[in-house]
Amino acid sequence: MRPLLETTADHAIRYLETINERSVAPGAESLRQLSRLDEPLPAGVSGEAEVIRMLDEIGSPASMAMAGSRFFGFVIGGSLPVALAASWLATAWDQNSALYRVTPATAHLEQVALRWLLELLELPAESGGAFVTGATVANFTALAAARHTVLENAGWNVEADGLFGAPPITVVIGDEAHPSLIKSLGLLGLGRERVVRVPVDGQGRMRASALPALRGPTIVCTQAGNVNTGAFDPIGEISEAAHEVGAWVHVDGAFGLWAQVAPTRKHLSAGVEKADSWATDGHKWLNVPYDSGVAFVRDADALRAAMAITAEYLPTATPHRNPADFTPELSRRARGVEVWAALRHLGRAGVADLVERCCRHARRFSEALGDAGYDILNDVVLNQVLVSFGDVTTTRRIIAAIQADGTCWCGETEWQGRPAMRISVSSWATTAADVELSLEAITRVARADQQAQRNPQRLEESNEGRITSSRRSS
């Protein structure tokens, strides 16, 4: 076993050590090589070393360099080396971390990680929590607790009797709610479309004044950090209004909840602690490896009521926290171990520095691109920048050229009817030098495109250049 694991570690280390020397997006030749995987199911055993060699040889070059320092797509953090190392060790432990009595080490680590998260994010210390796969499932988990409570208050036991014949629940969301939150509502039987949508402003913030009159079992879903602009709903104000009529307030804070940790950003999430439940990601701003999300619920009993099960064969009785009492899954890996490692390493100051640094880099991107004459479509309050290069066709063409250039990777979006490139700075690994290198590439590619549009002959030459550069990088 030792040579196999040591060789694999060597492959992984070499991958990470050289990640910034390659194109961020995989090149065309690397993608073509993926067809080597399309072989028949092997009839018999083949050597382990050969399997890993194949994985590295074919898989590594065809991967997107998300672990590198110049990937700015979606909202994707890298992996802190300490969190990656913890993940390796915990994977070697192979703990099915459902119950404390069976897997005490991982259950205890998750208990500590949860306590630290609540302290760091300044959420109520008594809250229950669940380590799950990501914000989508964290939203689902927290909203299951919300559904439990608002129906229990109306005299209905939703876990026992389901939603057939239950009192209707009013669900309120902002017009800019993330689609994964809406999906969670669908999974819970609350409907993706049967929601009351509240209008938003130019940054995507719910207008608190447009909140409808609330009555009966009600869940209000707010957002800390819009996936495009980084903007925050006025959560404190909404919570106060909603609580007056006994409604439940949930916060989707996939990445924005981390503003709580950063002294210069904390004003954005003001009042977030007034809500009843929160969802966030570990794999975004805390930079632990995929996949990792966390749900927090102020009333831990409500979360347990929505999630816990018992069975004759399960040793559930313990004075400690059984992880699976709070999660949709029974069998599960202990995602909290990597969260523990990241927090144990960074401490409060380290997490604050990580968040502040990403925000500073985002600000530099927006200032430099604005100075270069491109439109910045959002108020850059956090780590998200929306830049437009003109009309849809031009913006899309330039984004594709930037991706093909390979220096960095940014995705596309549409913001309130305008096409844009999204820059999300979410990785511990990104340095000021990476930002300058990426800015040079973005402006070079955008200018070349503009010149080529004026002179089609140059368009052909610039396309040639792109192909050559992507070949080189593959």
Ligand X SMILES: Cc1ncc(COP(=O)(O)O)c(C=O)c1O
Contact residues for ligand X (CB under 6 A)? Answer: 74-75, 134-136, 178, 180-181, 223, 225, 227, 252, 254-255, 281, 293
The interaxial angle of helices 300-307 and 135-153, nearest 10 deg, is 100
Half-sphere exposure (Cβ direction) of 426: Cα atoms closer than 13 Å? 34
Cα–Cα nearest to 365, from 354, 377, 353: 377
Amino acid (1-letter code) at residue 439: L
Dihedral, CA of residue 235, residue 241, residue 244 and residue 245, to nearest 10? -100
Residue 102, phi then psi, degrees to nearest 5? -90, -40
User: Which residue's CB is nearer to ligand X, number 306 or number 382?
Assistant: 382
d(CA 424, CA 280): 17
Which uninterrupted H or E stretch holds 370? helix 336-371
Minimum separation from the CB atom of position 76 to ligand X (A): 8
In the complex, least distance from residue 292 CB atom to ligand X, rounded to whole angstroms:
8
Instruction: State the Cα–Cα distance between residues 230 and 378, nearest whole angstrom.
Output: 9
The residues pairing with 251 across neighbouring beta strands, listed in sequence order, are 222, 278
Smallest distance, Å, CB 131 to ligand X?
Answer: 13
Nearest to ligand X of 27, 293 (CB atom): 293
- Is the CB of 78 or the CB of 293 nearer to ligand X? 293
Cβ 142 to ligand X shortest distance, Å: 12
> Is-contact 255 225, C-beta < 8 A?
yes
Are 278 and 250 in contact by the 8 Å Cβ rule? The answer is yes
Pick from 422, 395, 469, 386: nearest CA to 203: 386
Q: How many CB atoms sit inside 10 A of residue 309's CB?
A: 11
Least gap, CB of 441 to ligand X (angstroms): 24
CB-based closest residue to ligand X? 134
In the complex, least distance from residue 139 CB atom to ligand X, rounded to whole angstroms: 6
The encoded tokens of residue 168 equal 């209707």
Give yes or no for a contact between 365 and 357, defined as CB atoms under 8 angstroms apart: no
Longest Cα–Cα distance of the chain, Å, equals 76
Beta carbon nearer to ligand X, 103 or 223: 223
**Among residues 387, 375, 439, which one has the least CA distance to residue 413?**
387
Residue 281 CB, nearest approach to ligand X (Å): 5
Smallest distance, Å, CB 196 to ligand X?
19
Identify the DSSP state of 157.
-
CB of 225 to ligand X, least distance (A): 6
Q: What number of CA atoms fall less than 13 Å from residue 253's CA on the CB side?
A: 33
